[in-house]
């Protein structure tokens, strides 16, 4: 998942060096592998991996809808960005 504002910048060719791109979902590689080199503590990486697996388990068990799983994955992604020190670009207010 990539933050929507960052996705727009990448599409416009204005990618920032402080972006992070990971894959979340049933067929995604473990976060412990994906987050190597981002400066996140191993304990936190393992915790993120457990959370991602819990989301998948609840989704497979039909206890979460697809929309709920997506919403929770977005929140998890925000926590990962925060742990990695990625700053989200601010949008200018429209007048």
Q: Give residue-wise pLDDT tens across range 24-80.
A: 999 999 999 999 988 899 999 999 999 999 999 999 999 999 999 999 999 999 999
Q: Does a structural domain hold residue 51?
A: yes
Q: Does a structural domain hold residue 59?
A: yes
Q: Does a structural domain hold residue 12?
A: no
Enter the tokens of residue 73.
Answer: 């994955």
Q: How far apart are CA 17 and CA 35, in angstroms?
A: 16
Q: Does a structural domain hold residue 91?
A: no
- Number of domain units in the chain: 1
> What is the domain extent for residue 73?
23-84
What is the per-residue pLDDT for 87? 74
What is the per-residue pLDDT for 12? 58
Q: Does a structural domain hold residue 71?
A: yes
Q: Does a structural domain hold residue 6?
A: no
What is the per-residue pLDDT for 86? 82
Asked if residue 3 has pLDDT above 60, the reply is no
Q: Does a structural domain hold residue 47?
A: yes
Residue 80 or 16, more confident: 80
């Amino acid at each position: 998942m990539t933050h929507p504002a960052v996705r727009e910048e990448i599409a416009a060719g204005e990618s920032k060096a402080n972006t992070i791109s990971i894959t979340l979902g049933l067929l995604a590689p473990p976060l412990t592998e994906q987050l190597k080199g981002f400066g996140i503590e191993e304990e936190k990486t393992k915790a993120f991996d457990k959370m991602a697996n819990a989301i998948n388990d609840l989704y497979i068990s039909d206890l979460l809808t697809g929309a709920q799983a997506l919403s929770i994955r977005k929140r998890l992604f925000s926590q990962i960005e925060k742990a990695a020190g990625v700053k989200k670009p601010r949008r200018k207010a429209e007048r």
